[in-house]
Each structure stands twice: as C-alpha cells, then as structure tokens.
Amino acid sequence: MATCRRLLDSAPFQLFVLALALRLLVAALTANLYDPDEFVYLTLARAVAHGAVPYRDFAFFHPPGMLVILRLLNPLVSLWWPAARIVGMVVDSLTAVLVWRLGLQVYGRREALAAGILYAANPVALITSVRVLQEPYLTFAGVAALTVLLTRRSVWAAAGAGILIGVAVWIKYPALIFLGVGLLAMPRRFLPLLAAASATGILLFAPEAALYHRFWSDTVLWQLSRSPAAFTDRLRVTIVFLVLANPLVLFAQRERRLFLWMGYATGVLFLAASHTYYHYFLLNVPFAALLSAPVAVRLLHASKRQIIAGSLALSTLFGAGISLSGPNTVLVSSAELSTVARVAHYLDRLSRPGQAILGDRFEYAYLAGRIPYDDYYWNLQQTVRPSHLEADLDARAVVRSGGEKHSFPPGVVRYLSRHYRHIQVGTVTVWEVSNQTSHEG
C-alpha cells in the first residue's frame, strides 16, 4: 500500500496522468476531425498485415517504421481504429515524463516539473498526439535517447541512446536532428552514439535492400520532386507552431546549453521542405519546454490545483477552437469524419467485402472495410486515365473529395460523369462503376 501511495504521489505519475487527460480531452473535442495522413498509415499498415510489401506492392514516401508499428497494433486497430490514436496519446504522455526527467538532470525539481507540464499542455503536442501520425513515436524515441545519454554516463549508455535514435530515424528521417543534439550534449561519447545509431539503421533498413531503387525513389527522390507550397505559407506555419506555440522561449536568453537551442532551432529547417505541416514541429517541442522551464518558474507562481485548472482550461479552449474552425483549415490539416462515415455507409451498401474502391483518399475504403485500389492516391494524376478505367480498373466505385481540386485529371472526372451514375454526399462525389469483378487483396 505504501509503494502504491508513493507511486500515486510521484511527479512522473501525476505528470503522465495530466498529459493523458489533456490529450483525451482534446481528442474528445476534435473527435469529428481527422488528418488525411492518418488513413494513409492505417490503410497501408493493414495491407502489410495481409502480406503486402512496402515499396514493392505500394508506394510509401517515408521509412517503414510507422507501418511496422501499426502492423503490430493491427489486432487491436482492426477492432476499433481509434485505438491507434489512444496508443499515440499514451506514448506522447510518456514523452512528457521523459522531458521532466531531462529537466531534473539539467536544472532542478521545480524546473523539471515546469518542463513536463509545458510539454504536456503544448498545443503542437496536443493536436499531433491525438492523431495517428509518426511524430509522437519518433519524438518519444529521440527524447528517450537523449535522456539515456545524459543520465547514464557510460559508453554503453551512449550505445543504447544510439539504438533509440536509429529506431527514430527508421520511423522518419527528421529524427536525425537528435544526432546533432547528442553531439553537442555529450561530444566525448558521440562516436559510440553514432556507431550504434548507424548499426541499428543498417539492421532496420536491411529488408529494403532488395528494393533499393524503389525505396530511394519513394522516400527521397519523390520528396525532393514535390511541387513546393508557397514560401509564405511555409513561413506562416513555422511562425505559428515553432514560435507562437512556444512563447516563453523568447525570454530564455539566459540559457547557455547549446544542445537545447539546437534542438529547438532545427525547426527552422522545415522551411526548406516542399511543404511544412503542424506536426513536424513536435520534434522541437521538448527542447522548447526545457528552454521555457526556468522562465516559467521565474514568472509564474501557482499552486498545483491552479496549474491543473489552467492546463485544462487552455486545452479546452484549444480543442474547441480546432473543432469550431472545422475542416480544410490552413494551419491544421483536417477533414470531417461525419462526411466520410456517410460515404462509407453508402459504399457498404453498394459493394461487397473484397471489392475495390478507387478514391483520392484512403479513408473511404478503409472505413467501409473495402480494398483501396491503386498504388497511392497521390499518383492518380499520373496513373488514372479514361482508357485505364475501361481496360484495367476493377473498382466497384470511384470517390472524389470535393476539396481535392486536382486529385483526378479533368478528363477522368468528365468521363465518369458521362458514363456512370453518381451521388453527391456533401462535397464528395461517388460514381457507381457497375459490372465490375471482385478485387482480391
């Protein structure tokens, strides 16, 4: 009983509970919204669970780590897909605890608790962790690596940190920033860190060796060849989610630990990407929280109850704001699940399990329990032609999202409208393609 009481009274446990509660609150407030990327990961991971091989059977524009994670979760996710969201929330809540531990190592108890709370209530962390995205997992692995590196001063600890960084990079390439942070934090132990990270990367990426050209084309060349968004749009997203979401960093001039500044400032590099999204900046939030912690301790004097109440109030306002802003916002990628559910219900009546659906997004087929047709929805501009529809396509229906103006070539849209019956569900168009064969997958 005493052990249980000590656990309940401990700062890590209470911080974890607070972080998870805030994420569940925001998840409930934004339950009708989703990021289209969520169903890319869910759909392709389901294909992997059924034997498909990434980069051979379908295109995937990131390293395979996220698909493997969701493949492991498939028995749970296949019963209820939001379970994947809950797992991500738990993982990100654990990251808040790791930020606390780093704060304890770098500063002291008060600053550590402030850093953990700042991470737990950060708007970037809140909205990213309630969705099925890569960043909560790679941020957890990267912060865990830094925690091991700083709290266990040995070569073996550096090697363990390197393994964690290798895993993070296997999920998404931007996790390489943790190598640079590790170099500045512990330069004397960088070699074992780098060696372990490299060895881990070689082992994890080894299965892709036989598909090297497709893997390189999908995960590197495709990313480099994307048509860039306007620089002003990328700059606006960077300012909002790197600077305005972490206002106390502006007052952290006294901090002299360069590895913290590097971890935060690398967010500027996302300006060089062809597109810049809100969830990219989750990698920088742990460093922003650590930089802001001493400032928060100096400026804010509040009781535990006031901190909890303030965190809940701010999270409620943030979640409500995201929900009220609705879909297709410029800053936070969102679409409405209610519309997709109506389309999925219609597809369920229109088709049988095992038949395919061609859509410019994966969520329609996924939620209808049908097979998504074609390699990847971003390829539709190049791969779908009217002749392709007649000669090769075995989809039972074709779905086009109203917000995706260029998801299908104009000729295909005109052809579908002339030859097939269609219905309109909100802004979504569904064409019923009759007399098609079953698609096994």
Residues 6+ positions from 154 with CB-CB distance below 8 Å: none
Q: What is the dihedral of CA 333, 338, 344, 348, to 10 degrees?
A: 170
- Taking the C-alpha atoms of residue 335 and residue 407, their distance in angstroms, rounded to an integer, is 16
Nearest to 67 by CA among 174, 219, 216: 219
Cβ(297)–Cβ(5) below 8 Å: no
Handedness of CA 30, 31, 32, 37 (dihedral sign): positive
Cβ(360)–Cβ(403) below 8 Å: no
Reading the chain (441 residues) residue by residue, the pLDDT tens digits are 667 777 666 888 999 999 999 999 999 999 999 998 999 999 999 999 988 889 888 888 899 999 999 999 999 999 999 999 999 999 999 999 999 999 999 999 999 999 999 999 999 999 999 999 999 999 999 999 999 999 998 999 999 999 999 999 999 999 999 999 999 999 999 999 999 999 999 999 998 888 888 889 888 888 888 788 889 999 999 999 999 999 999 998 888 899 999 999 999 999 988 889 999 999 999 999 999 999 988 887 777 777 778 888 888 888 888 887 777 667 888 888 888 888 888 888 888 887 788 888 888 888 888 888 755 444 544 544 555 555 455 677 888 887 555 567 667 777 778 888 888 887 888 888 764 434 333
Nearest to 248 by CA among 117, 109, 106, 54: 117
pTM over 0.75, yes/no: yes
- Taking the C-alpha atoms of residue 132 and residue 118, their distance in angstroms, rounded to an integer, is 22
- Taking the C-alpha atoms of residue 270 and residue 27, their distance in angstroms, rounded to an integer, is 26
**Angle, CA of 165, 170 and 175, to the nearest 5°:** 50
Cβ(208)–Cβ(171) below 8 Å: no
- Taking the C-alpha atoms of residue 412 and residue 385, their distance in angstroms, rounded to an integer, is 6
Please tell me what DSSP assigns to residue 58: B
3 state DSSP class of 244: helix
Residues 6+ positions from 226 with CB-CB distance below 8 Å: 274, 275
Cβ(161)–Cβ(148) below 8 Å: yes
Cβ(380)–Cβ(360) below 8 Å: yes
Q: Which helix (H) or strand (E) holds 432?
A: strand 428-432
- Taking the C-alpha atoms of residue 189 and residue 191, their distance in angstroms, rounded to an integer, is 6
